[in-house]
Structure 1
Amino acid sequence: MFSAKDWQDYELIDTGGGEKLERWGGYTLRRPDPQIIWPLEKETGLWLHANAHYHRSSSGGGQWEYREKLPERWTVSYGNLKFYIKPTGFKHTGLFPEQAVNWSWMIDKIKSARRPIKVLNLFAYTGGASVACASAGAEVCHVDAAKGMVQWAKENLQLSGLGERPVRFITDDVFKFVQREQRRGSRYDAIIMDPPSYGRGPNGEMWKLEEDLFPFVQSCMSIMSDKPLFMLINSYTTGISATVLTNILTMTLKKKYGGAITSGEIGLPITESGMHLPCGILGRWEEKR
């Protein structure tokens, strides 16, 4: 497992009973997690006195219960990177801390390339990967269909002191954007994607990961440069294994460029138990050095 163990401002304190207890900077949050199917061994004071607790509704969705008034948003740091945290109505906080394993890897790949690198970040959310790549000196194009998430990403870039870096923020349907980049002849040295399990395009087009990921990766290959650096695929879709990502990257990137593939689970260390919480999978293709 790729474990995001280098955090200072984030900690997965404990898990059990379908929930996780986390520290985000100076605040503790209690949130549900479908991977936590083991019981809670002991509901300690930390569990009972979390600053906020997200309760799922039996009819779908849910809401936060606050023990005290929290700031509208606050900041956490990962090394030199800074991010705004804000509890949202759909239980998320605006950041997936397990992705720190990818941020560190991408920063190292970009810096060690010793050449200008153009990165395309697709399904880019609040820009954790965009901020990381910009901090390493890359030119970045950040694409997400949600206007609010793109704005959040812009603010994260500014917060990290990287506002002058060459980062383009695009609010658009990812698939349509890639098609237009093909027609324009645009090229990227690295592509990052975190595709959803299901989605619907602007004209009602249906996206289903199991059916559409392979042709989408093929499509993205047409906008890669003649000397690509890496492709990273993240997935939180239950039922898709790391081996599936390995096979897709083998049949596409490795078949054309050679290089190396790494895949596996990503997760977070649990302080109380010493175990790890699985948080999805990754597949990485990288150039042969």
Structure 2
Amino acid sequence: MAEPNRSYQLVDAGAGRKLERFADVLISRPCAQAVWRPSRPQSVWDQADASFTREQQSGWSFRRKIPSEWTCEVGGVLFTVRPTDFGHLGVFPEHAFGWQWLQQRATEAKQPLNILNLFAYSGGATLALAKAGCEVCHLDASKKMVDWARQNAALNQLANAPIRWIVDDVQKFLHREIRRGRRYDGIVLDPPSFGRGTNQELFKIDNDLIELLDLCWQVLAPNPAFVFLSCHTPGYTPIVLQNVVSQCAKGGQINTGEMRIDPQPGSLPIPSGSFAAWQNA
């Protein structure tokens, strides 16, 4: 019997939506960037097993009964995916190229790295780095998401990997790490446009990103390997991220660009935020 297909695929995008296959479940969701016409016929879109809308009665509708959760592989990492009230599924596929970049930096280091992953969500970067032999501190303000990430770790046979699971406010945690003298060889961060800490501390990227990056550089080891910053906030283009990182970095090299999701042949890619990848010279 053939193995079931557990991989992710962008099938099509257009008319403000995207059609994605998470393992054997086909899902249609809003996508503001997809202002072009769909490449696939409507008959393909009509096959969606589940659709999410944010108009009027926001929520999910189902063509057939789907599992409450299932397993999908994205970028070489296994995830438990499940539909949430916000239309998310517990993984952002545009980050997969970044995980590969991080794994390559870890391999080039030729020694185990101690990495801090901030706003770590369901653990994609954490698990990719753990697979590459890194020790990782995984931090998110949501206990629910940290529990979800730990479930993903077990799914990837990484339940006993050297990962510290922390539920905390990012800025408060960084201040404490500075006082404690704890240092990291690399940092990964994906700050939201707006968020709340564990005690409802307010994070707003327009006000807090510069200070956040300053704190990150204070907890880096004397000879760090990298800092990988990604962002989905509208207006935070690659040039913006280049500028803010360049004001914190001491030497090294910065590569920036758009994150994207590449589709199956015949459809168009989706731009999905920006990144700035700094590595030591």
Which residue is 1:152 aligned to?
Answer: 148
Which residue is 1:249 aligned to?
Answer: 245
CA distance in 1, matches of 2:40, 2:94: 25
Equivalent position to 1:19, from 11, 17, 20: 17
Are positions 1:38 and 2:36 aligned together? yes
Structure 1 pair 49/103, CA: closer, same or farther in 2 (3 Å)? same
CA distance in 1, matches of 2:75, 2:247: 36
How far off is 1:200 after superposition?
Answer: 3.6
RMSD of aligned Cα (Å): 1.8
SS at match of 1:252: coil
Show CA shifts across 1:104-124 (max 9, x none).
111111111011200000000
Structure 1 unmatched runs, 5+:
1-6
SS at match of 1:224: coil
Q: Which moved more, 1:276-285 or 1:66-75?
A: 66-75
Equivalent position to 2:263, from 263, 270, 275: 270
Q: Which moved more, 1:194-203 or 1:172-181?
A: 194-203
Sequence identity of aligned pairs in percent? 40
How far off is 1:78 after superposition?
Answer: 3.9
Equivalent position to 1:185, from 159, 181, 185: 181
Is the CA contact 1:122–1:193 (under 8 Å) kept in the aligned structure 2? yes
Structure 1 pair 231/146, CA: closer, same or farther in 2 (3 Å)? same
CA distance in 1, matches of 2:242, 2:75: 30
Structure 1 pair 272/54, CA: closer, same or farther in 2 (3 Å)? farther
Is the CA contact 1:236–1:279 (under 8 Å) kept in the aligned structure 2? yes
Are positions 1:85 and 2:78 aligned together? no
Show CA shifts across 1:64-106 (max 9, x none).
1111111111111246521111111110110011111011111
Q: Which moved more, 1:176-185 or 1:78-87?
A: 78-87
* TM-score normalised by structure 1 residue count: 0.91
* TM-score normalised by structure 2 residue count: 0.93
Are positions 1:132 and 2:128 aligned together? yes
Write out the 4+ residue segments of structure 1 that deviate beyond 3 Å after TM superposition.
Answer: 39-43, 200-206
How far off is 1:286 after superposition?
Answer: 0.4
Q: Which structure 2 residues correspond to residues 168-183 of structure 1 after superposition, within 5 A?
A: 168-183=164-179
1:35 corresponds to which letter in structure 2?
Q
Are positions 1:259 and 2:257 aligned together? no
Which residue is 1:100 aligned to?
Answer: 96
How far off is 1:195 after superposition?
Answer: 0.5
Show CA shifts across 1:30-60 (max 9, x none).
001111122346643221121101122337x
Show CA shifts across 1:177-205 (max 9, x none).
11111111110000011101123445654
Structure 2 unmatched runs, 5+:
none
CA distance in 1, matches of 2:141, 2:220: 22
Equivalent position to 1:64, from 51, 60, 63: 60
CA distance in 1, matches of 2:80, 2:214: 34
Q: Which moved more, 1:242-251 or 1:199-208?
A: 199-208
1:177 corresponds to which letter in structure 2?
F
Are positions 1:141 and 2:134 aligned together? no
Structure 1 pair 202/140, CA: closer, same or farther in 2 (3 Å)? closer
Is the CA contact 2:40–2:267 (under 8 Å) kept in the aligned structure 1? no
Equivalent position to 2:7, from 6, 9, 16: 9
CA distance in 2, matches of 1:114, 1:229: 11
Are positions 1:165 and 2:161 aligned together? yes
1:184 corresponds to which letter in structure 2?
R
Aligned length: 277
Is the CA contact 1:80–1:160 (under 8 Å) kept in the aligned structure 2? no
Are positions 1:55 and 2:48 aligned together? no
CA distance in 2, matches of 1:203, 1:24: 34
